[in-house]
Structure 1
Amino acid sequence: MTVTTTAPGALSQDEAAAFRQRCIEFLDEHATGIHLDGDPDPRAEKRLRAAQAFQQALADAGLAGITYPAEYGGAGLTKEHDKIWRECYAQYPFMTSELTISHGMCLPMLAEYGTEEQKQRYLADNIAARTVWCQMFSEPGAGSDVASLQSRAVLDGEEWILNGQKVWTTLAHLCDFGIVIARTDPDQPKHAGISMFIVDMRAPGVEIRPIHQVDGGLHFNEIFFTDVRIPAENLVGDLNNGWRLATAMLMYERVAIGGGGTDGVTHANADALILEAEKRGVLGDPALRNDLMDLYIQESVKSMNSLRTRAELKAGKTPGPAGSLGKLQGTLVSYLARDLSMRVVGADSIAWDEEGGHRWSTQAIRSMGSGIAGGTNEIQKNIIGDRVLGLPREPSVDKDVPFKDLRVGTQRD
């Protein structure tokens, strides 16, 4: 007789099977894809509302925020439950891409670094997508070098007064709250003297302007802060320790971008292009078949790297610099998929008759931004070289210079 034992606290086979079935039943009903009915949806309003509806149904079913404690609005389940959910979700249309920043970056930061009061106030609504969050780091003079930011927060009694500008903020026009970093002590070197705050996106003095993108989209924004008052209790973490928190949040961002929201080994780009090549009768081309197989392999390896990163997260570790590997590889996969799609689709990638034919050109154009969002490819290579491979760092001439003495942004003679 064979006796199956279960580690203490682990799910039994029956429990795992029952939870998997519960996930599948929910996904069968709710993960039906996001349908825009021909609407280009340039500001992503429809896509976000669909994502919120899905997430709220998930919360009602007790499946949202699986590993977050129940007292903060999560499901209070185990990492094993989370793995099963992600494996199931990988087989269905992804419904929550517009919540990637809110859930993949802001939520874990609040859970890890927020005060008890902040967790009680914000986590449950974030998990259920009753509120949506954005991240505000980049500025016109501080992109890849975010530490050169000039937005300034000055303490006035029990409030901070924020002035400055942010740019490339995704979905800011639809968000309720945002996490922002600003300079709070210009007498310290640029990587010091920065603090992180929670900002009400509808507060007086917050102005949001859309950025018109080459693909017709308008989901990026620039934001202007004019004497915006932030309650002192909205400081996240310690004063003047914002760069360490920003670095942690960027690590979460790279995992969110490079790892996606599902689990398992996936190769969606290769699968779609193989089907398209078969439909167009070009799958017999041996050179094309070889390149499609290369894309399939690259996507599979990317998934495996993401699984390793997620295993670290499940072990309770904050994402480390290895997250840059997944982010960089994701960019290279998008470039390869773009070039292959142009070969498979041919002239239809430029001019098309069928409804939805623009998808190939739109996908190609959007791939250009993948090498910028979450840090450029060059920044990822520097991080990998320095912090993963242990190679010598590039020289830094401004390391110990007070920020006010640097000639950056508008601080020029």
Structure 2
Amino acid sequence: MNFDDTPEEAAFRSEVRAWIAANAPTHLEAELKQSSFGNMGLKSEDPIAAAKAWQKKKFDAGWACLHWPKEYGGRGATPIERVIWGQEEGAYGTLGGLFTIGHGMCGPTLMAWALEEHKRKLLPAMASGAEVWCQLFSEPAGGSDLAGLRTKAEQATDGSGDWIIQGQKIWTSGAQNSDYGILITRTDPNVPKHKGLTMFWLSMKSPGIEIRPIKQANGQSGFNEVFFNEVRIPDNQRLGAVGQGWTVSLTTLMNERLSIGSGMPTGFPELFDYCLNFQTEDGPAADDRMVRSRLAQYAVKASGLKYTGMRAISALSKGETPGPENSIGKLVAGATMQELAMFALDLQGQAGVILDPAHAEAAARFQAMLLRSPATRVEGGTDEILRNIIAERVLGLPGDIRVDKDVAFKDIPTSGR
């Protein structure tokens, strides 16, 4: 593949660069450049308001959700143009974290499965940043087995056709800031677990929804528990047919792994710069042979991730759907970030325990990265799940033995039974 811009791409890049230079919130640039993984880092103004303002400005000028069709609030741009935008947006792209789940996961699912009237209403509002979305998938009893979910949806007995939702979700990123969500439920416990699921979209302001933020090790609360107590959803908010929820969820999951894996930082550029400037007793850390060896290893991984991501971009440019190979990026990036952060803190020695950005080395970026990195290896599919996907669906290896494959969900034994 030739990574140089074509004349058309160069012209597009020039247009993007000029618009960003004229419209970006430059007063936030310094803070955004110091942001740590999982934290926008804004203190001078409300981060949610700043994110929505930047998204709205992009939307009004036709730069939001570039790859989406124009009728849904996008630009109809090519995948390569989307990459160019991301490269040029730079630190300001951090403001888009609030919308990652909506734009990268919920939006594509709605485009594929929602009613046309709902697409035209919901997607432009999502693209503009006016409405924030989350995805309600994981459950406390399910672990890594999404198909083992127990949140149930039953049709109301009043003849309305509405669905009544009862159950709990967990690890729902951004639920406390969300206006809407996509929800997968169990509608039939009498069939094997993958066949009795149904997907919906719903307002997060619906009566009966309770959101409880979860306090994380890094002091933040980006994840949430969400409880459903007889929440009513109209049948026309169903995505796909009754019992087709697993198929619909695969649309979300494939886009989730592309969105997370292709955009997940490893921290290598920050580590490289840090090693060039960090002074040890023997001089700059980068002068040490062992440090250079480790940097070389991380450089190889970062390069591999970059070009693996370009494969996905090439597939998109040909009109192909994101596939299971996108699990590679998420698997490698998450583990690399954790390992790299630990190495940086080893270099700092006892100073590595300082968490206050005002006093810690490198403004505590590596401390924040280490505390957030375990979550990256769980969200969007655990390392073990991703390895199974790669083994079975990319490499064609035999699948794991599944004793519950043809067993009705209600008959699957659980602990304590």
Q: Could you tell me the TM-score, scaled by structure 2's length?
A: 0.87
How far, CA to CA, are the matches of 1:34 and 1:379 in structure 2? 38
Q: Which runs of 5+ in 2 are unaligned?
A: 280-284
Given candidates 381, 390, 397, the residue that maps to 1:391 is 397
How far, CA to CA, are the matches of 1:36 and 1:396 in structure 2? 46
| Letter matched to residue 64 of structure 1 | A
How far, CA to CA, are the matches of 2:346 and 2:318 in structure 1? 42
Q: How many residues align?
A: 395
Q: Could you tell me the TM-score, scaled by structure 1's length?
A: 0.88
Given candidates 175, 188, 205, the residue that maps to 2:178 is 175
Shift of 1:131: 0.5
Shift of 1:340: 2.1
CA gap 1:348/1:80 in 2 versus in 1, 3 angstroms: same
- Does 1:215 pair with 2:218? yes
Q: CA RMSD in A?
A: 2.7
Q: 1:378: which partner in 2?
A: 384
Q: Is the 8 A contact 2:32 2:91 kept in 1?
A: no
| Letter matched to residue 60 of structure 1 | D
CA gap 1:188/1:257 in 2 versus in 1, 3 angstroms: same
2:324 aligns to what SS in structure 1?
Answer: coil
Shift of 1:318: 2.3
Given candidates 401, 404, 409, the residue that maps to 2:407 is 401
- Does 1:334 pair with 2:337? yes
- Does 1:270 pair with 2:260? no
Shift of 1:80: 4.5
CA gap 1:65/1:385 in 2 versus in 1, 3 angstroms: same
How far, CA to CA, are the matches of 1:195 and 1:55 in structure 2? 32
Q: Is the 8 A contact 1:206 1:228 kept in 2?
A: yes
Q: 1:23: which partner in 2?
A: 16
Q: Is the 8 A contact 2:108 2:251 kept in 1?
A: no
How far, CA to CA, are the matches of 2:275 and 2:34 in structure 1? 25
2:18 aligns to what SS in structure 1?
Answer: helix
How far, CA to CA, are the matches of 1:103 and 1:140 in structure 2? 26
Q: 1:368: which partner in 2?
A: 374
CA gap 1:245/1:278 in 2 versus in 1, 3 angstroms: same
How far, CA to CA, are the matches of 2:263 and 2:357 in structure 1? 30
How far, CA to CA, are the matches of 1:336 and 1:227 in structure 2? 44
| Letter matched to residue 338 of structure 2 | Y
CA deviations over 1:243-276 (Å, ceiling 9, x no partner): 1111221121111111018xxxxx8722211221
2:153 aligns to what SS in structure 1?
Answer: strand
CA deviations over 1:285-316 (Å, ceiling 9, x no partner): 11101111211221111111111112222322
How far, CA to CA, are the matches of 1:73 and 1:301 in structure 2? 33
- Does 1:128 pair with 2:122? no
Q: Is the 8 A contact 2:32 2:92 kept in 1?
A: no
Shift of 1:94: 3.2
Shift of 1:360: 2.2
Q: Is the 8 A contact 1:197 1:234 kept in 2?
A: yes
How far, CA to CA, are the matches of 2:414 and 2:335 in structure 1? 31
Q: 1:160: which partner in 2?
A: 163
2:336 aligns to what SS in structure 1?
Answer: helix
- Range with bigger deviation, 19-28 or 297-306: 19-28
Q: 1:225: which partner in 2?
A: 228
Q: Is the 8 A contact 1:153 1:182 kept in 2?
A: yes
Shift of 1:12: 7.8
1:1-400 matches, within 5 Å, as: 13=7, 15-28=8-21, 29-30=23-24, 32=26, 33=29, 35=31, 46-89=46-89, 94-156=94-156, 157-260=160-263, 269-281=267-279, 282-351=285-354, 355=358, 357=360, 358-400=364-406
Q: Is the 8 A contact 1:165 1:225 kept in 2?
A: yes
Shift of 1:50: 2.6
Q: Which runs of 5+ in 1 are unaligned?
A: 1-10, 262-266
CA deviations over 1:349-391 (Å, ceiling 9, x no partner): 2126761733322211111222111111111111111111111
Shift of 1:42: 8.1
